Amino acid sequence: MTVGIAAVTVSLLSACSGFNSELISDSKTMAFGTGTPVLASAETTAVGTGSADAADDPEIYVSRYLPETPVILGTDKKAGLYVYNIDGSVRDFAPTGPLNNVDLLEMDGQVLIGTSDRVKNGVALFGLDKDLKLVNHGFVSLPTSEAYGFCMAAVKFSDKTSPVVVVVGQRGDVAVARLNDVGGYSIIDTQRFEVGSQSEGCVIDAKTGALYVGEEAKGIWRYDVRSPSNATRVHFAPAPSDILKPDVEGLTLMHEGDKTYLIASSQGDSAFAVWQVDADPVYKGRFSVMAGNGIDAVTGTDGVAARGGPVGPYPNGIVVMQDDVDSDGEAASTTRVKQNFKIVDWNNVKAALKID
């Protein structure tokens, strides 16, 4: 994008919509990708919102009843929630309005999907029917400054295993609550704490109760999601550093047998950092998704998700990440408007980073 085109684009968007920085792709200010190169194996159809920063956060689901039909969930933060087939085609779409992050949990053989609702300021809940189409399960209020980040998990407490939902507000204020599913969904046992500045990405390790939160300018913090106060926290990975270049964005966990890996989006240089965290944390390296296999590179990345074990044609799992510029079919001079999600074989990441 030339300076002239950029200026005209900003001017038009300012006049038409009351300029919001989220309407412009971040990629023009991002490094191309400085991690160890890997290639994507597939990509999704671009989100339908045109001329706007729209794709944000993915999640992956493999039904025990339909293991041959895995799906990828992806938010369009201007319009709603997508369900994609593993080949990247659209399976379903819920036009709910602005949703930012998505996560899911499984209990008693059922899947519950949650998303951060930026307008209602809380959690929009969904299920999947027998055809893996979205079913609306309502909304629970869990207000923060503005519902940006979201994560959920079935966490074991002293009394029982309960669904836990976490909403991270734009200003870094966090709300954590247990979810009661008796007679419809409701919030109980809410706790609140402050990260410090703008934050978004979060993920819960259901095995340990660890809650990882990404403070965009300062790095990754680790909390205990079961703690009543979260007064004590660990600065797991600082930023800026050689590992993380602000903004620190999406966070996800890859479970592979008894091993657990934390993956973080380093948006400032279009890379992904990987740690093994099932014992004392061990840093494993960084990777970037480069152009190849007929698929463009990942730049200015935001949300990321991972799932181990068989996922359709991928025997050991996949990593899925938002791409700030889906440049397929666009000339180099084209004003970038399309965003989508890239699908990377976990085997390729392991080989690139020499993970045993």
Q: State the pLDDT at residue 328.
A: 64
Q: State the pLDDT at residue 24.
A: 60
Q: State the pLDDT at residue 4.
A: 32
Q: State the pLDDT at residue 228.
A: 75
Q: Are strands 282-290 and 36-39 parallel, antiparallel or unpaired?
A: parallel
331: tokens are 């000339």
* Residue 149 lies in domain: 3-353
96: tokens are 């709910």
Count of domains in the chain?
1
Burial class of residue 28 (count of CB atoms within 10 Å of its CB; 0-12, 13-18, 19+)? middle
Burial class of residue 272 (count of CB atoms within 10 Å of its CB; 0-12, 13-18, 19+)? buried
Half-sphere exposure of 256 (CA within 13 A, CB side): 18
Low-confidence ranges of the chain (pLDDT < 70): 1-32, 328-337
Question: Residue 244 and residue 31: Cα distance in Å, rounded?
Answer: 13
- Residue 350 belongs to what H/E stretch? helix 346-353
Single-letter residue type at 329: G
Question: CA distances (Å), 205 to each of 117, 151, 281, in order?
Answer: 23, 10, 13
Q: State the pLDDT at residue 69.
A: 98
pLDDT tens per residue across span 297-311: 999 999 999 999 999
Question: Residue 162 and residue 296: Cα distance in Å, rounded?
Answer: 41
- Residue 191 belongs to what H/E stretch? strand 186-194
Q: State the pLDDT at residue 325.
A: 85
Q: What is the CATH number of the domain that holds 221?
A: 2.120.10.30
